[in-house]
């Protein structure tokens, strides 16, 4: 198939280009950055510069590519790990999830695309219920006020994409990425790994929030499966071993050769960073990816982060 991959130069984008090309697909991949075009071509994609917030730029690139499938993997989460930057990154990512999605959908519809696959995130699947969240669980309706806009943006991308009537609209709720090319790898410059080494990524409160993780190679293979076999709707994409932050974070620190994470009281984090991070660290709920395995035939190279952290950090 011919696939237009918006965000091909990002953490999942590179792995996705490699896997799609290996499966015999033709990929047109985007970046905003001309200096990254060569690297995308080296992976086997046709590479184009697109600004997702400029509807004409998007429409022109999609029309020229004439794809059968459009994949939206654009976020703006790369950058220095300070609090002010985190707020800017969240706002930029929200725009990509709202305006970026809408421009891409309009461009895709105009050229008769028959499938649209977009990135969502598992962390804000309604997390107050018991047990693991399946793919039918709504996005959290009552998030803390300081993260409301970002949660609304996730809701937008999911609703806009799965609501299309002219093709199959698929939203993939990924667990936390780790592995080569992500911020959580053993490679130099991996931002979250560096924070963990510097003990700047603490366990907040009781650390009872349950996170689902997914190795980036598995996240990419689930996406390929969705491109090839997915039908309209939401698919959770994470490993089989959701675990509380208080369990996986110390093990991750150990695998990175770092000292154990610090523990910080919830009230202090609430004061500095708001209720959103406290909520995720103390109340988040893991997800079940049974549907993706059942319907897409997806199998994981790393069914548990325990092996993934030991062997797959890159
Ligand atoms: N589920 C998860 O855990 C999850 C999900 C996403 C990201 N992350 C993490 O967040 C960090 C950053 O992610 P990342 O490496 O993928 O980088 P990123 O900075 O989030 O960029 C991702 C992609 O979006 C593109 N993009 C951003 N703004 C754009 C715009 N206005 N128009 C067009 N394209 C735009 C980027 O293009 P350019 O080449 O121009 O930058 C890139 O291809 C990593 O540590 C990653 O692991 C985690």
| Domain contains 54 | yes
Q: Report CA(73)–ligand 1 centroid distance (Å).
A: 7
pLDDT at 87: 82
Tally of domains within the chain = 1
Answer whether 215's CB lies under 8 Å from 14's CB: no
- Confidence (pTM): 0.97
pLDDT at 185: 97
Q: Please give the number of the atom of ligand 1 that sits closest to the Cα of 12.
A: 16
**183 in ligand 1 pocket by Cβ < 6 Å?**
yes
DSSP 237-274: E--S--EEHHHHHHHHHHHTTPPPPPEE-HHHHHHHH-
Q: What does the pLDDT look like over 73-82, one tens digit per residue?
A: 999 998 777 7
**10 in ligand 1 pocket by Cβ < 6 Å?**
yes
Question: Which residue's alpha carbon is at the smallest distance from atom 40 of ligand 1?
Answer: 32
pLDDT at 79: 78
Q: Which domain holds residue 150?
A: 2-181+214-238+288-301
**52 in ligand 1 pocket by Cβ < 6 Å?**
yes
Answer whether 117's CB lies under 8 Å from 223's CB: yes
Q: How far apart are the first and last CA of the chain?
A: 30
| Domain contains 279 | no
Q: What does the pLDDT look like over 150-162, one tens digit per residue?
A: 999 999 999 999 9
**78 in ligand 1 pocket by Cβ < 6 Å?**
yes
The CA-based angle 237-158-44, given to 5 degrees, is 60
**174 in ligand 1 pocket by Cβ < 6 Å?**
yes
**282 in ligand 1 pocket by Cβ < 6 Å?**
no
Q: Please give the number of the atom of ligand 1 that sits closest to the Cα of 75.
A: 20
Question: Which residue's alpha carbon is at the smallest distance from atom 36 of ligand 1?
Answer: 7
| Domain contains 314 | no
Distances (CA, A) of 269 to 44, 126, 154, 184, 303: 44, 22, 24, 22, 32
Instruction: State the CATH number of the domain containing residue 168.
Output: 3.40.50.720
pLDDT at 23: 98
| Domain contains 97 | yes
Q: Is 28 left (phi over 0), alpha (psi -120 to 50) or beta?
A: beta
Asked if the model's pLDDT at residue 129 lies above 70, the reply is no
Q: What does the pLDDT look like over 209-252, one tens digit per residue?
A: 999 999 999 999 999 999 999 999 999 999 999 999 999 999 99
| Domain contains 150 | yes
For residue 197, how many C-alpha atoms fall within 13 Å in the half-sphere facing its CB? Answer: 16
Q: What does the pLDDT look like over 78-107, one tens digit per residue?
A: 877 777 777 889 999 999 999 999 999 999
Asked if the model's pLDDT at residue 128 lies above 80, the reply is no
Mean pLDDT of all residues in 44-49: 98
């Amino acid at each position: 198939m011919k696939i237009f991959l918006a965000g091909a130069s990002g953490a999942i984008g590179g792995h996705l280009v490699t896997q799609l090309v290996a499966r015999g697909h033709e990929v047109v991949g985007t970046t905003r950055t001309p200096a990254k075009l060569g690297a995308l071509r080296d992976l086997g994609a046709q590479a184009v510069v697109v600004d997702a917030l400029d509807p004409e730029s998007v429409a022109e690139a999609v029309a020229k590519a004439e794809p059968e499938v459009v994949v939206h993997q654009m976020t703006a989460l790369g950058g220095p790990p300070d609090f002010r930057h985190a707020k800017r990154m969240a706002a930029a990512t929200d725009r990509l999830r709202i305006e970026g999605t809408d421009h891409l959908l309009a461009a895709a519809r105009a050229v008769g695309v028959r499938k649209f696959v977009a990135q969502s995130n598992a962390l804000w699947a309604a997390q107050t219920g018991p047990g693991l969240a399946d793919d039918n669980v709504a996005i959290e309706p009552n998030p803390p006020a300081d993260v409301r806009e970002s949660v609304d943006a996730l809701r937008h991308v999911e609703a806009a994409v799965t609501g299309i009537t002219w093709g199959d609209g698929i939203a993939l709720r990924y667990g936390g990425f780790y592995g080569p090319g992500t911020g959580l790898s053993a490679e130099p410059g991996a931002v979250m790994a560096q924070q963990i080494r510097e003990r700047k990524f603490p366990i907040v409160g009781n650390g009872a929030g349950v996170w689902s993780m997914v190795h980036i190679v598995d996240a990419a293979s689930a996406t390929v499966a969705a491109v090839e076999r997915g039908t309209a709707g939401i698919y959770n994409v994470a490993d089989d071993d959701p675990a509380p932050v208080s369990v996986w974070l110390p093990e991750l620190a150990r695998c990175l050769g770092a000292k154990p994470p610090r523990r910080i009281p919830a009230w202090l984090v609430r004061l500095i960073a708001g209720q959103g991070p406290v909520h995720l660290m103390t109340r988040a709920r893991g997800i079940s990816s049974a549907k993706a395995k059942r319907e897409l035939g997806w199998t994981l190279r790393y069914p548990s982060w325990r092996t993934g952290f030991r062997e797959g950090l890159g």
